[in-house]
Amino acid sequence: MKQMGIYEKPRVDWVDFAKGICIIWVVMKHSILGVEVADGHESWMHAVATFAKPFRMPDFFLISGLFLGRVIDRNWRDYLDKKLVHFFYFYVLWVTIQFAFKAPAFISKYGVEGLLHQYLLAYIEPFGTLWFIYMLPVMFIVAKATRRIPPLGIFVIAAALEIVKVDTGWLMIDEFAARFVYFFGGYWLAKHVFSYAALVQANLRVFAIALLLWGLTNGVLVFGGYAEAPFLSLVLGFAGALAVITVASIFAQMNWLTILRYAGENSIVVYLAFFLPMASTRFFLLHTGIIPDLGTVALIVTLVGVAVPLLFHAAIRGTRLDFLFVRPAAFHLQPAGKKTLQPAE
């Protein structure tokens, strides 16, 4: 554990590596599918997105729950400030930014009234890529509200919700049912997760072999069409999350690909801002045709989607544009006169 970044927050290296891996998987999924929808054909990168589907979001939610135990017993005002108002600020800000860029297309399709309707609807049904930011506060509140219920009971109920494959057509309900078990698992089992990471770092070769066996098993089940089966999807979700933690722990121990750690430190920055460089790069490459291979296009779009938000964040840090990634004091529930800034993570 060490101090890193301008905010002087204590960091755990392997957690940052894991978050970096997670955010790249998320950007990659949107980049691949976006390119394929725009072109009308699948690419070789489609197999990469398919392989990651069982664990791409489970690992993100599990990692998000790891440090909840440190704050869950705080008073409700402080808790809501950090776990509800915080994320709501960034959701409102970035959903408004996204709508500003998409307004011409929406007006052309729906008219001005339709645009307003779509914007207001985004506060009931989360909009586009921002649904994760919308969902996290809900999970934080549910976790605290059920604090006095035996955690095993909550975990069993959450697992059952994932297993039955809730399908109401409402993203909030369906995704909560599918993902809460991983978030709660990260919170409830945090001590064991950290012990597992330490065990990996003490036995790198053994877990490198185990990682290969997991990859083969995950691939066989996914491409064999079994990944969505009840119970099995839950197992693959947790197994994949542990695989990401394994990779992250190995990278942290060996100090490999440290750019992943930086991306993890700023994963929410990437999540908030990747939509524009992703869409712009996709449009340019597909319309110019300078790169004929669709998979290569998707890979470049992914890299740009991750790199540009990080570069932009570094460029505006400490300027008047800081509010894009740092919540201003005016949007805190802290007592009047207490000045504070809180970055997006």
pLDDT in tens, 128-178: 889 999 999 999 999 999 999 999 999 999 999 999 999 999 999 999 999
CB 245 within 8 A of CB 197: yes
On average, the pLDDT of the chain sits at 93
- Give the pLDDT of residue 11: 81
At residue 209, does pLDDT exceed 80?
yes
| Adjacent-strand bridge partners of 3 | 10
At residue 4, does pLDDT exceed 50?
no
The 3-state DSSP class for residue 125 equals: coil
C-alpha–C-alpha distance, residues 273 and 69, integer Å: 29
Q: What percent of the chain has pLDDT over 90?
A: 90
DSSP track, 256-285? --HHHHHHHHTHHHHHHHTHHHHHHHHHHH
At residue 280, does pLDDT exceed 60?
yes
C-alpha–C-alpha distance, residues 47 and 38, integer Å: 18
At residue 8, does pLDDT exceed 70?
no
C-alpha–C-alpha distance, residues 61 and 59, integer Å: 5
Candidates 141, 243, 234; CA nearest to 179 is 234
Q: How far is CA 108 from CA 39, 63, 114, 115, in A?
A: 22, 40, 10, 9
pLDDT in tens, 56-66: 999 999 999 99
Please state the rounded mean pLDDT for residues 231-236: 98
pLDDT in tens, 305-338: 999 999 999 999 999 999 999 999 999 986 544 5
- Give the pLDDT of residue 10: 63
